[in-house]
Copies of this chain bind each other. A is one copy, B any other.
Amino acid sequence: MKQSETGLKNHEVGVFALGGLGEVGKNMYCVEFQDELIVIDSGVLFPDDYLLGIDYVINDYTYLFENQDKIKALIITHGHEDHIGGITYLLRQVKIPKIYASGMAVGLIKNKLQKHRGFRSTLIEYQEHETIVFGKLSVSFYRTNHSIPDSFGVVVHTPQGSVVHSGDFKFDFTPTGPDANYQKMAELGKEGVLCLLSDSTNSEFPAFTKSETTVSENLKDIFTKIDGRVIIATFASNVHRVQQIIEASLATNRKIALYGRSMLRTVEVGKDMGYINAPQNMFVDSHRISKKDSRRLTIICTGSQGEPFAALSRIAAGTHRQIKIKEGDTVIFSSSAIPGNQISIYKTINQLFRRGSNVITNSPLTDTHASGHAGREEQKLLLKLLRPKYFMPIHGEYRMLKIHAQTALSTGVKKGNEFVLDNGQVLALTSNSARISGAVQADNIYIDGGGIGNIGNVVIRDRNMLSKDGLLSAIITINKDNNTLIGNPAIISRGFIYMRDNSDMTHEMSNLIKTEITKKLARTKELNVNVIKRHMSKVLNNYIHNKTERSPMVMPVVMLTN
């Protein structure tokens, strides 16, 4: 599926996504003008249950590889995995001279790069006030509110006008970190924005999202009412939230123990950067919590999405080494359920209740979590501040993009100036025109396990099929010298039916194959193994379908001897 034509004319600015449209994850956007290419973000996508056994999905970097001489820089908006998780994969394939990132993201990217020496790319920290000038393109920044510190919107200044990428954002009028830069956004709007690419994650939520301060106050209230241990799960990257939990613990005279590798890493980076502040003796060695007074302990852990190997899931399953649930424990989910994770999360909650814990989840009654993404009214505010001529919703599934485009029209973007695109589709812009000019290659690349790297669509399709009805294999041995069957065909299967209870079927299939293939071989002059295999498949598929109405994967195997 190779189609890598931007179709751009020499004076046009190209804007396109290699990931992030029609999905929440693997964000990667490009702004191209003549011989210059700016890449914004390089994320991964965490698959839902439909992608079987896959660890994550990354972008197809083919276009970047083929145009690497044009690439001036990779600009990082913020340090979430769906924006930085693909960087080491990208650098392995594509020469990127400079990576620009800021604050927290720098710390997290350094961490990744340390594990992969030998990359010849320079990591540069940008400041909000800077403008980075390349050739005809230059880049500037403005601060946003989001669920990780140091999140920025990115402005790519082009000869045709400014292309603004919103980053991940919300508007929090009482944030726990610094304010968003309202003034700079308004100024950009005054100067004129050619095209806005804006975060669509919460475009279905028809209001303003809650402030982090609300969550902070609620957590303090909840902590005060709890006598026993508090076990609280949240997204590891939400450093502000972790700091609030520390403050609620301080206020209720609790020590803190941390569990989960990503939680430990973020807190480490957060401390280094000054985002995590706590008295020296606040943290308890996670191996020694049994010696602490239960009422005076907060356990912060990963696993808010029911991830099977995360700390909370192991606590719930009773397999965590240090933490066993006891009467009086309260587990708080300071998180929301990402669609696709509900079943796993509910399983975890059921197990926690069964072990005797109380469980508090985020709800309109508890407000233990606030989203980091703008609701519809915040999306409108950004549109009003920036007043873009053209609008391209990004960072969302198709319905989110579509609804965001409707929102943009309602705030004054002209009908026809909104572009709901697919990954790869190129939007060609001039100061007074916009058109879809072409499409570049932007497939999904599946990553599974440490050793192998990417696996293809065929493997995914096979796993899907195997998961439904299992497989059945018939194995025959043919004497090459005289084209005759040796012995009886063997039938083996897994995940299809329980073979011990169905030995009749096994015998029937074996006999059927023997009869049919013997007939076939008698008519055969020159042995063609593929013809024999196809015939075995046909015979078995018919038999199985009539007998069971199921469709296991059928694998015929021919062994040759002489």
The reply to whether B475 and A557 form a contact with Cβ atoms under 8 Å apart is: yes
Given A462-B470, A462-B495, decide whether A399 and B53 contact each other with a Cβ distance below 8 A.
no
Cβ contact of A53, chosen from B49, B351, B455, B469, cutoff 8 A: B469
In the complex, chain A residues 449-491 whose Cβ is within 8 Å of any chain B Cβ: 449-452, 455-456, 458-459, 462-471, 473, 475, 477, 486-487, 490
Which of A462, A501, A555 gathers the greatest number of chain B CB atoms within 10 Å? A462
Taking the complex as formed, is A550 at the interface, i.e. its CB lies under 8 A from any CB of chain B?
yes
The reply to whether B498 and A450 form a contact with Cβ atoms under 8 Å apart is: no
Q: Which residue in chain B gives the minimum CB-CB distance to A548?
A: B451
Interface residues of A, dominant DSSP: mixed
The reply to whether A498 and B342 form a contact with Cβ atoms under 8 Å apart is: no
Note all chain B residues with C-beta closer than 8 A to A359: 399
This chain: copies in complex: 2
The reply to whether A53 and B340 form a contact with Cβ atoms under 8 Å apart is: no
The reply to whether A497 and B452 form a contact with Cβ atoms under 8 Å apart is: yes
The reply to whether B466 and A550 form a contact with Cβ atoms under 8 Å apart is: no
The reply to whether A346 and B397 form a contact with Cβ atoms under 8 Å apart is: yes
Given A467-B52, A548-B451, A550-B449, decide whether A490 and B557 contact each other with a Cβ distance below 8 A.
yes
Taking the complex as formed, is A426 at the interface, i.e. its CB lies under 8 A from any CB of chain B?
no
The reply to whether B350 and A450 form a contact with Cβ atoms under 8 Å apart is: no
Note all chain B residues with C-beta closer than 8 A to A402: 353
The reply to whether B449 and A466 form a contact with Cβ atoms under 8 Å apart is: no
Note all chain B residues with C-beta closer than 8 A to A557: 473, 475, 490, 492
How would residues 532 to 556 of chain A score, 1 for a CB under 8 Å from any chain B CB and 0 otherwise? 0000000000000001111001010
23 A-B residue pairs with Cβ-Cβ distance under 8 Å, sorted by A, are A52-B468, A52-B495, A206-B363, A206-B365, A339-B343, A340-B342, A342-B342, A350-B398, A451-B548, A452-B550, A455-B497, A455-B498, A456-B498, A463-B466, A463-B495, A466-B466, A466-B467, A466-B471, A466-B495, A467-B467, A475-B557, A490-B557, A494-B555
